[in-house]
Amino acid sequence: MKINGKVIEQAPPEIIVIPRQSGDVVFEAHPILDYSNFDAHAPMPKPPEVRRPGDDAPAANPDDPKYRESMNDWAAKKTDWMVITSLKSPGGLVWDTVKVDDPESWKNYKTELAASGFSEYEINRIMDTVFRACGLSTGLIEQATKNFLASQAEAAREAAKKAQG
């Protein structure tokens, strides 16, 4: 695929460095382009079906409390999976209790980071870096849009100047 004659490249990893006296800790957050591994381990819940008076076919009931709870659990698992899948370290990152093929273990990454001496603020910064790498930063998208619109306006002014003179 090309846009304006340019081949679209994958976004580079986002880097976060956590300073330590014994040596900085470097994480790379890589964009995730394929969620099929997540889907295979944690498929999206389906709402239960109900029969409503006057309807021949059953209908989905997305307001079911158990379904809503399962969707919240699924969304948390997806976030946890994104973090552990995106995070890498140039020196190698090995989790003790997080297992890639065990959805119930994915949430352990926060506990492991905390047990390794990372503060809550540092853990949140690591997560923010993952979200940026995965394109989930509204601020970055808005800034890129503003930059694009500003460049379009500048190009229009330049074209108007050329047309006049």
pTM of the model: 0.75
- Say yes or no: 61 and 98 in one domain: yes
Residue with the bigger pLDDT between 24 and 58: it is: 24
Per-residue confidence at 49, pLDDT binned at 50, 70, 90?
confident
Range list of β-strands (E), the chain: 2-3, 6-7, 14-18, 25-29, 49-50, 59-60, 87-88
Q: Which two tokens stand for residue 77?
A: 């698992």
- Say yes or no: 97 and 148 in one domain: no
CA 70 to chain centre: 20
Per-residue confidence at 11, pLDDT binned at 50, 70, 90?
confident
Q: How many angstroms separate the CA atoms of 79 and 46, rounded?
A: 19
Q: How far is CA 49 from CA 45, 64, 71, 147, in A?
A: 12, 9, 15, 47
Q: What does the pLDDT read at residue 35?
A: 92
Cβ–Cβ under 8 Å, residues 103 and 81 = yes
Residues of the domain holding 117: 2-134
Q: What does the pLDDT read at residue 122?
A: 97
List phi, psi (to 5°) of 140.
-65, -40
- Say yes or no: 128 and 154 in one domain: no
- Say yes or no: 110 and 161 in one domain: no
What mean pLDDT do residues 88-103 have?
A: 90
- In the structure, how many helices (H) and strands (E) does the chain have? 5, 7
- Say yes or no: 91 and 151 in one domain: no
pLDDT in tens, 105-123: 999 999 999 999 999 999 9
The number of domains in the chain is 2
Q: What does the pLDDT read at residue 1?
A: 82
- Say yes or no: 128 and 146 in one domain: no
How long, in residues, is the chain?
165
